[in-house]
Amino acid sequence: MESPQPGSRGAEALKHVVPGSSIAVKYHPLFGPHDDLILLELDEKLLPDVLHERVVLRGQPDEDAVLCTQSKTYAMKFVGTSNSVLLIPPANHSEFCENPQNNDSNKEEEKVVAPVIKVVSGNIELVEAAPRLDKLKSFLLEKTYNFDEYDMENLEDNQESTIGLYSWNDLVDNIQASDEELRSGLQALSAVEINGYWRLVDGSYMDMILGMLLKNSVINDWSLNALNEDEVVSTLVSDGFPGVLARHCLRTYGTKVNEGMPGCAWKLDEKRVCIHFAREILKGGKRKLESFLDEWRQKVPDGMQPTVDLVEGEVLIERVGVETWVRAFSVASLPSTPAERFAILFRERTKWEWKDLQPYVRDLKIPGLSSEGLLLKYTRRTQPSPDAEPIFSAR
């Protein structure tokens, strides 16, 4: 091992210290709390992202900051230590350079001394966390896009008209999630970018667009399993709908069936279309199950079979005496944090059968905690008999 040079100072001196030996330390002239210097403990897999500056800290002043890579979010926790950790700056770091007049480095017999700039009481630890997307929906609901929306061609020139609207950069600055998680959140909410701003389209307006698409499919003899995108968009534009919303309708209610091939065809997704019409029916309040099913069958396109299992996580079915009622209760309206989610669920019902509860908790993804672990933490399970369905109540 290379021997330390006489009088070597700074972190470089530690590189030459043999295990089991010692080195002299002293207070650096700039020794102090240096609150702007914090140690960060990293998993080796995160090193490339940090070293190549592919990470970012996100959070507002009133929020606990998170560290985001391109695809994941990490909570930042300060972990104290009972040992004294001494921070020694590099000798050539200009910010912490000692005054040469005080070094007296001409003496060859001078000991190797490492100057301590700070005593560290702990470090930041990263823990993978779920993205905090609840604020995303509340932002986008501030100003939904509806059929009364005025022409936005000159939106950038009208600052008042942008109040309540959020661009991608606005969302990145306010939402604690990685870029990939934010894009997934926008997709899950069926958001669409219009004139540089991400918007939720009013449900009634989407109902108008989908209804017109279905009417045109009958008039023009289109197959709902092979809708030509150009033809559909051209027809809807001629009916007075913006082209961007015509394409958004296809993305929201359909899936591409010829990915990567010339031209673009879409197939309407039975579940998404059926859920849309179920929501529209239940906007007016709860309905008797038989009445709901009759109207639902009439509204969905021919060839689609609306069944109760399609609306799991969208409706609650309740038995009152001899009658069965159905009402809207969408998992999309619930918070993404487990504690808040379970609190609302148990306010809604004090006891849940697993077949009813499962649709409302299966989307909860907490790194390091399985679905069984979530249930164990937030619920109490009872089973009257080995053959009976388990019942879940609040813990």
Contacts of 198 (CB under 8 A, 6+ apart): 140, 166, 167, 168, 171, 186, 191, 192
> What is the DSSP annotation of 212-259?
HHHHHHHHTT--TTSEEHHHHHHHHHHTT--HHHHHHHHHHHEEESST
Contacts of 7 (CB under 8 A, 6+ apart): 103, 105, 107, 108, 110, 111, 112, 113
Phi and psi at residue 218, to the nearest 5°: -75, -45
Provide the 8-state DSSP code for 2.
Answer: P
pLDDT for 236: 97
11-34 pLDDT, tens digit per residue, is: 777 777 788 888 888 888 889 888
Query: Is the CB of residue 2 less than 8 Å from the CB of residue 52?
Result: no
> In DSSP terms, which residues pair with 87 in a beta bridge?
118
Whole-angstrom Cα distance, residue 266 to residue 254?
A: 6
List strand residue ranges (DSSP E) for 321-360, in order: 323-328, 351-353
Cα dihedral sign, 347-352-356-362: positive
Query: Is the CB of residue 137 less than 8 Å from the CB of residue 189?
Result: yes
Tokens 């009634």 label which residue? Answer: 204
Whole-angstrom Cα distance, residue 76 to residue 320?
A: 48
Phi and psi at residue 119, to the nearest 5°: -100, 120
Query: Is the CB of residue 328 less than 8 Å from the CB of residue 283?
Result: yes
Contacts of 199 (CB under 8 A, 6+ apart): 140, 143, 144, 145, 165, 191, 192, 193
Instruction: Work out the pLDDT band at 109, boundaries 50, 70, 90.
Output: very low
Whole-angstrom Cα distance, residue 83 to residue 190?
A: 51
> Structure pTM?
0.83
Instruction: Work out the pLDDT band at 9, boundaries 50, 70, 90.
Output: low
Tokens 């997934």 label which residue? Answer: 184
Length of the chain: 395
Amino acid at 246: A
| Cα of 210 vs its chain's centroid, Å | 28
Q: In what order do the strands lie in the sheet with 323-328?
A: 287-288, 323-328, 315-320
Query: Is the CB of residue 277 less than 8 Å from the CB of residue 292?
Result: no
Long-range contacts for 151-159 (Cβ within 8 Å, ≥24 apart)? 152/194, 152/195, 153/195, 155/195, 155/196, 155/197, 156/196
Query: Is the CB of residue 389 less than 8 Å from the CB of residue 358?
Result: no
pLDDT for 160: 58
208: pLDDT strictly greater than 90: yes
88-99 pLDDT, tens digit per residue, is: 888 776 555 555
> In DSSP terms, which residues pair with 118 in a beta bridge?
87
211-243 pLDDT, tens digit per residue, is: 999 999 999 999 999 999 999 999 999 999 999
- Nearest C-alpha neighbor of 136 from the set 185, 203, 196: 185
Query: Is the CB of residue 204 less than 8 Å from the CB of residue 146?
Result: yes
Mean of pLDDT over the chain: 87
Query: Is the CB of residue 10 less than 8 Å from the CB of residue 114?
Result: yes
The arithmetic mean of pLDDT across residues 138-152, rounded, is 81
pLDDT for 148: 78
pLDDT for 370: 86
- Nearest C-alpha neighbor of 77 from the set 67, 86, 90: 67
268-319 pLDDT, tens digit per residue, is: 999 999 999 999 999 989 999 999 999 999 999 999 999 999 999 999 999 9
